[in-house]
Amino acid sequence: MSSTAATAAGAEAGAQKSTHLTEASPLISTDELERNLGKYKILDATWVKLPMWAGRDAWKEFCESRIPGAFFFDIDEVADTRSEYPHMLPSEEQLAGFLTQHGIQTEDHIVCYDSHGVVTSPRVWWTLKVFGLPNVFVLDGGLKKWKAEGRRTESGDPPKTPSISEDPSVTSGPVKANLKVALQKEGVRSYEEIRALQQKLHSSGDSELKDHELIVDARPRGRFDGTLPEPREGIPSGHFAFSVNLPANEMCDVETGAFLSKEKIRKLAEEQGVDLDRRIICSCGSGITAATVFLALSLLGKTTNISLYDGAWTEWQMRQLKKK
């Protein structure tokens, strides 16, 4: 059974009624989520499998302290586990199975968060969006900000929610199914598409480059320019030809974990050569922080003609190494 560990009294909530359920912004504030806990399905999307987080266990941390009512979304398990590349997108059936198990339906309002701030939760936000779920948000500042503000958490076994039933005769117990999961293919780029793009770019003149998609790389500057190593053994650092660097680790406030203002994000994007008028492909090391940049650009109004290279730099380099 789940035991609630009230870590501190919840912060004073505002009296005004939330309007986020009808707003387009992909971010939700800690104030708003606390006022509307019962209206959202909440997913802890913390992922810690990089050397800088060595020794951490996301599931253990989830059981020790989480936002009340949250479920755990394992980025490595709700994925194509047959692939040799890390946490590639799951199948429609696999994702639907997870959502069904946790009583989540198509029109539910879903909030994703992570314990870092806004680092790994955008990957789950993007995954749900690219499979057609319309009402998905990211908690601005994540669990880091939530706890710093003294808001209530719980611990112990995760909550139990009635599963979804496809059986039309079910009238009690399991929730009657209202779930549609369908991959929006225009939101994802494959290795073959990136290879074709690179070939086109190499054969294009300077005046033609803007006619092609722009790869925006979310990795830290050192990994992009090749002066720092990649965290995965055997993968060289560097970047795609004709790509630009918009580091995801510079998108958030170091102290609070919350996203920078739109003005600061726009300024950084302009300084780094991100042309919002072009079709954009977000990439990174393995497809996680690419979603953070995807989220950041959507905050700037880039909600069409934008996609994400799922395999990212890791798949690209692994396939290049196989050719040698």
Q: Could you give the CA distance from residue 19 to residue 3 in angstroms, rounded to a whole number?
A: 32
The structure tokens 């580091």 sit at 247
Report the 10 Å Cβ neighbour count for 134. Answer: 11
Q: Could you give the CA distance from residue 158 to residue 294 in angstroms, rounded to a whole number?
A: 30
In the chain, the N- to C-terminal Cα span, in Å, equals: 54
Residue of 257, 248, 287, 300 whose CA lies nearest to 123 = 287
Write down how long the chain is.
324
Q: Could you give the CA distance from residue 6 to residue 265 in angstroms, rounded to a whole number?
A: 35
Residue of 82, 146, 133 whose CA lies nearest to 104 = 133
Q: Could you give the CA distance from residue 43 to residue 73 in angstroms, rounded to a whole number?
A: 6
Task: From the candidates 112, 252, 282, 284, give the one annotated as an active-site residue.
Answer: 284
Active site residue 282: no
Number of Cα atoms under 13 Å in the Cβ half of residue 317: 18
- Provide the pairing of β-strand 136-139 with 71-72: unpaired
**Beta-ladder partners of 138:** 27, 112
Residue 89, CA distances (Å) to 94, 169, 283 in order:
10, 33, 14
Q: Check residue 150 and report its DSSP letter.
A: T
Report the 10 Å Cβ neighbour count for 154. Answer: 20
Q: Check residue 73 and report its DSSP letter.
A: -
**Beta-ladder partners of 136:** 110
Kindly list the catalytic residues. 284
